[in-house]
Amino acid sequence: MKENDGVHGEHVHEGEHEEHGGMEHEKHEHEGHSHAKHHEMMMEDFKKRFIVSAILTVPILILSPLIQNFFGFELTFPGDRYVLFGLSAAVYFYGGWPFLKGMRDELKKKLPGMMTLIALAITVAFFYSAAVTFGLPGKTFYWELATLIDIMLIGHYIEMRSVLGASRALEELIKLMPTEAHLVTPEGVKDVPVSELKKGDVVLVKPGEKIPSDGLILEGETSVNEAMLTGESKPVYKKPGDTVIGGSINLEGAIKVRIEKTGKDTYLMQVVELVRQAQETRSRTQDLANRAAFYLTLIAITAGAVTLGAWLYLGKPFVFALERMVTVMVITCPHALGLAVPLVVSVSTSLSAKKGILIRNREAFERAKDVQVVVFDKTGTLTEGKFEVTEVIPLDELDENEILRYAGALEAHSSHPIAQGIVEKAEELNLDVYEVKESKVLPGKGVQGVINGREVFVVSPGFLKENELWREDERVKEVLEQGKTVVFLVIDGRLVGALALADKIRPESREAVEKLHEMGIKAYMLTGDNAKVAKWVAEELGLDGFFAEVLPHQKSERVKELQEQGYTVAMVGDGINDAPALIQADVGIAIGAGTDVAIESADIILVKNDPRDVITGIHLAKATYRKMVQNLAWATGYNAFAIPLAAGVLYGYGILLSPALGALLMSLSTVIVAINARFLKV
Ligand code: ADP
Ligand code: MG
């Protein structure tokens, strides 16, 4: 598990990267610690600096004339102002160091932000006071400076803690991975760390324990809880030969599992990696937030300067005006703004991962909230994609078994659901299939290869028509009328047989279509299969429309046409033939155990074969967006009352904020953003 310790969202801490600048990275390289650890180290650093500064603040307060006046005592001794200066300098340099350093990093990146503001504020306060100590007429500012730094330090500490909480979601995924396994060896069962497992090892998993890594059941029957991994809430029954996922919980029986994948290759780690990558991809909302943060910094500096000028103009002492300026700059820190979006992203990616919805592309996921049309692929998406051969129809000299020998041989080289159905039928009848040379998949059409020196095809009706091999036949017509999928065997340019296959509509599909309609979203179907089957499925499900006998490139054209009509389109598919359409769509969604090509082309992956997850995904996208907007609105909007308050507009009513109180409010606004993000739900 070593290599995975650091995966928890780099991106999450983006806000902090900006604010603590390069500090974190330098440490990272030198000490080689994981990111999560750093975060904790930084937290400790803030805590230490806070404690030291707070202790130093006590004598500063006692020595301050204003405080003495307030509590009605007097404490003076020769040179006391130099002591005050010394203590304050210590607080400024030691407690203020993270901010000063942060400013340097921000300016180096030409991106003044949060740290620049704080550093500027404390620097102005300190040097002005120092000048007064050494002769400039005026009043010092030391206790305000010290308390401001204290509050900033503790505020950062608290914020980092809440941020850590929000970003832990990804870590929770990693924590699903067990650490120990019972390895079966010739000498008996031995407990070993999971990291030592190798492919081919056999492990024993007792009831109630987690499956240590992805593998295959060799012995024993059980049911497994995969809820945390795929969102499937019901226990899944497993028997020898079935695959199990590392991290899922073995519920009933003891099983022996042969390890198939370890470390980074396991399902769970791939999910973690996907989630991490998704968190790193920039989203439009994040860009917006970053730009806003930059402008807010400029506004803060301007507002500070205006405040200073205005109070001086109104005839207030310089120290009063300066204090207001510092408060304005502190309260306007765009800290909450920097974290508003990353925190939501972090919570939403891991939340959706737990529901079996993997987000690969955040920008597309953001678009999912606006989807108006969902286009489904038929086979394997709306239907189960488990074809069963129901009829074999000889159309030439070959008999049924012979047709299956040829077709089964070719289909062994294809991963299409039709292919699996045919292969299974040949196996069922114990037929020895032929050997194939030069096999080739024709996406959306069929397969091709050389058997016994003859050119063999198993193809769609469309392919036959295209090549003028189509022949009317009563029996073929009949199975087509029944809404079956029919493919044809062609040998050396001659049509020799037809195979009819039946598939089942997924029971979840109907509900998915209904729910989409409730949301005002249209549902279409695209299929390479024949129009009769397509029509039957479309009517069964109440679809808004369908396109049949479309080739892969036509699938993407259909999607494009819908887009040209002004719709935001999501495409849901599983096959190689869907890949171009997945790319073309505004949101490409690969379903279930889809082919790798489909997964690579998709923006979102649904782990389960459940079309209803499309709806969950859309809901999640909407909820995520709402949270982002709420956070952004809060993080910017709070300035509307904070800035005037800090500037002292309510001074006439006796309300005046000290810089420390300003810092407190600023930190509070960030904590609110973090808490709000954590409450994301669907
Ligand atoms: P869908 O869009 O329904 O997922 P495809 O585009 O994958 O279907 O396939 C379209 C048609 O091409 C199928 O209905 C079938 O006629 C034919 N076809 C595709 N792959 C194969 C195969 N491996 N064997 C036989 N026919 C195939
Ligand atoms: Mg398909």
Are residues 122 and 220 located together in one domain of the fold? Answer: no
Q: Give the model confidence (pLDDT) of 141-158 as tens digits.
A: 788 888 888 877 887 787
Does the pLDDT value for residue 91 go beyond 90? Answer: yes
- End-of-domain residue from the set 443, 477, 504: 504
Are residues 595 and 665 located together in one domain of the fold? Answer: no
Q: Give the model confidence (pLDDT) of 562-610 as tens digits.
A: 999 999 999 998 877 788 898 899 999 988 755 666 677 888 988 888 8
How much is the average pLDDT of 526-554?
A: 90
Beta-ladder partners of 185 = 188
Q: Which of 396, 552, 579, 422 is nearest to 476 (CA)?
A: 396
Nearest-Å Rg of the Cα atoms of the chain is 33
Are residues 500 and 511 located together in one domain of the fold? Answer: no
Look at residue 417 in the predicted model and tell me its pLDDT.
85
Does the pLDDT value for residue 395 go beyond 90? Answer: yes
In a domain, residue 622? The reply is: no
Look at residue 135 in the predicted model and tell me its pLDDT.
83
- Residue whose Cα lies nearest atom 16 of ligand 1: it is 460
Are residues 554 and 597 located together in one domain of the fold? Answer: yes
The first and second tokens of residue 174, run together, are 């990693």
- Strand 522-526 and strand 373-377: the pairing is parallel
Look at residue 19 in the predicted model and tell me its pLDDT.
37
Beta-ladder partners of 449 = 456
Are residues 486 and 572 located together in one domain of the fold? Answer: no
- pLDDT class of 668 with cuts at 50, 70, 90: confident
Q: Does the beta carbon of 408 sit less than 6 angstroms from any atom of ligand 1? A: no
Look at residue 351 in the predicted model and tell me its pLDDT.
84
Which residues have C-beta within 8 Å of that of residue 51, sequence separation ≥ 6? none
Q: Give exposure, 658-669, as e/b (b: 16+ Cβ within 10 Å).
A: bbbbbbbbbbeb
Q: Does the beta carbon of 447 sit less than 6 angstroms from any atom of ligand 1? A: yes
Look at residue 276 in the predicted model and tell me its pLDDT.
67
**Residues tagged active-site:** 377
Phi and psi of 203, rounded to 5°? -120, 155
In a domain, residue 4? The reply is: no
Task: Tell me the C-alpha distance between 57 and 279, whole Å.
Answer: 41
Highest mean pLDDT among 118-122, 557-561, 636-640: 557-561
Does the pLDDT value for residue 494 go beyond 60? Answer: yes
Residue/partner pairs of 633-638 with CB below 8 Å, 24 or more apart: 634/336, 634/340, 634/669, 634/672, 634/673, 634/676, 635/289, 635/334, 635/336, 635/337, 635/340, 635/669, 635/673, 636/292, 636/296, 636/337, 638/336, 638/669
Rounded (10°) CA dihedral 374, 375, 376, 378: 150
3-state secondary structure of 458: strand
Are residues 41 and 163 located together in one domain of the fold? Answer: yes
Rounded (10°) CA dihedral 207, 213, 218, 219: -10
Q: How many angstroms is it from 372 CA to the middle of ligand 1? A: 28
- Residue whose Cα lies nearest atom 27 of ligand 1: it is 446
Say if residues 259 and 288 touch (Cβ distance below 8 Å): no
How much is the average pLDDT of 425-434?
A: 91
- pLDDT class of 6 with cuts at 50, 70, 90: very low
Say if residues 600 and 590 touch (Cβ distance below 8 Å): no
- Residue whose Cα lies nearest atom 19 of ligand 1: it is 446
Does the pLDDT value for residue 132 go beyond 70? Answer: yes
Query: pLDDT over 70 for what percent of the chain?
Result: 90
Look at residue 424 in the predicted model and tell me its pLDDT.
92
Residue 179 burial class via C-beta count within 10 angstroms: exposed 0-12, middle 13-18, buried 19 and up: exposed
Are residues 254 and 291 located together in one domain of the fold? Answer: no
Q: Give exposure, 225-261, as e/b (b: 16+ Cβ within 10 Å).
A: bbbbbbbbeebbebeeeeebbbbbbbbebebbbebbb
Look at residue 7 in the predicted model and tell me its pLDDT.
33
Which residues have C-beta within 8 Å of that of residue 674, sequence separation ≥ 6? 159, 162, 163, 165, 166, 339, 343
Q: Give the model confidence (pLDDT) of 194-243 as tens digits.
A: 889 999 999 999 888 889 999 999 999 999 888 777 767 678 899 999 98
In a domain, residue 269? The reply is: no
3-state secondary structure of 67: helix
Query: pLDDT over 90 for what percent of the chain?
Result: 39
Look at residue 567 in the predicted model and tell me its pLDDT.
95
Task: Tell me the C-alpha distance between 27 and 33, whole Å.
Answer: 8
In a domain, residue 104? The reply is: yes
In a domain, residue 265? The reply is: no
Range(s) of the domain holding residue 222: 180-212+214-260
Look at residue 36 in the predicted model and tell me its pLDDT.
60
Domain of 411: which CATH number? Answer: 3.40.1110.10
Rounded (10°) CA dihedral 35, 41, 47, 52: -140
CA atoms within 13 A on the CB side of 330: 37
Look at residue 8 in the predicted model and tell me its pLDDT.
35
- End-of-domain residue from the set 504, 538, 566: 504
Q: Cite the DSSP H helix spans in 109-180.
A: 114-133, 142-175
Look at residue 384 in the predicted model and tell me its pLDDT.
86
- Report the range of poorest mean pLDDT among 104-113, 171-180, 429-438: 171-180
Task: Tell me the C-alpha distance between 466 and 518, whole Å.
Answer: 41
Look at residue 278 in the predicted model and tell me its pLDDT.
63
In a domain, residue 266? The reply is: no
Task: Tell me the C-alpha distance between 88 and 152, whole Å.
Answer: 15
Look at residue 167 in the predicted model and tell me its pLDDT.
58
Q: Given ligand 1 and candidates 480, 527, 535, which is best to mutate, with the most ligand atoms within 8 Å of its CB?
A: 527
Q: Does the beta carbon of 45 sit less than 6 angstroms from any atom of ligand 1? A: no
Q: Given ligand 1 and candidates 377, 442, 445, which is best to mutate, with the most ligand atoms within 8 Å of its CB?
A: 445
Does the pLDDT value for residue 306 go beyond 60? Answer: yes
In a domain, residue 253? The reply is: yes
Count of residues making up the chain: 682
In a domain, residue 3? The reply is: no
Q: Given ligand 1 and candidates 413, 416, 457, which is best to mutate, with the most ligand atoms within 8 Å of its CB?
A: 416
- Residue whose Cα lies nearest atom 24 of ligand 1: it is 446
Say if residues 226 and 236 touch (Cβ distance below 8 Å): yes
Are residues 595 and 485 located together in one domain of the fold? Answer: no
Count the domains in the chain.
4
- Residue whose Cα lies nearest atom 14 of ligand 1: it is 529
Phi and psi of 431, rounded to 5°? -90, 135
Q: How many angstroms is it from 405 CA to the middle of ligand 1? A: 19
Does the pLDDT value for residue 92 go beyond 90? Answer: yes
- End-of-domain residue from the set 484, 504, 524: 504
Does the pLDDT value for residue 27 go beyond 50? Answer: no
Are residues 241 and 287 located together in one domain of the fold? Answer: no
Say if residues 98 and 49 touch (Cβ distance below 8 Å): yes
Report the alpha-carbon angle 156-159-165, nearest 5: 145
Q: How many angstroms is it from 466 CA to the middle of ligand 2? A: 21
Which atom, in ligand 1's list, is nearest to the CA of 526? 2
Q: Give the model confidence (pLDDT) of 248-299 as tens digits.
A: 889 888 999 999 988 888 888 877 776 666 666 666 777 777 778 788 888 8
- pLDDT class of 360 with cuts at 50, 70, 90: confident
Domain of 184: which CATH number? Answer: 2.70.150.10
HEC string of 155-169 equals HHHHHHHHHHHHHHH
Q: Does the beta carbon of 485 sit less than 6 angstroms from any atom of ligand 1? A: yes
Are residues 208 and 305 located together in one domain of the fold? Answer: no
Q: Does the beta carbon of 577 sit less than 6 angstroms from any atom of ligand 1? A: yes
- pLDDT class of 179 with cuts at 50, 70, 90: confident
The first and second tokens of residue 343, run together, are 């925190």
Task: Tell me the C-alpha distance between 345 and 167, whole Å.
Answer: 9
* Mean pLDDT of the residues in the chain: 84
Q: How many angstroms is it from 17 CA to the middle of ligand 1? A: 50
Look at residue 584 in the predicted model and tell me its pLDDT.
92
- Strand 454-459 and strand 485-491: the pairing is antiparallel
Largest CA distance in the chain: 119
Are residues 86 and 164 located together in one domain of the fold? Answer: yes
Are residues 253 and 317 located together in one domain of the fold? Answer: no
- Residue whose Cα lies nearest atom 15 of ligand 1: it is 460
How much is the average pLDDT of 630-643?
A: 88
Task: Tell me the C-alpha distance between 395 and 474, whole Å.
Answer: 11
**Helix axes of 335-354 and 267-280: crossing angle, nearest 10 degrees:** 150
Which atom, in ligand 1's list, is nearest to the CA of 552? 6
Q: Which amino acid is at 575?
A: G
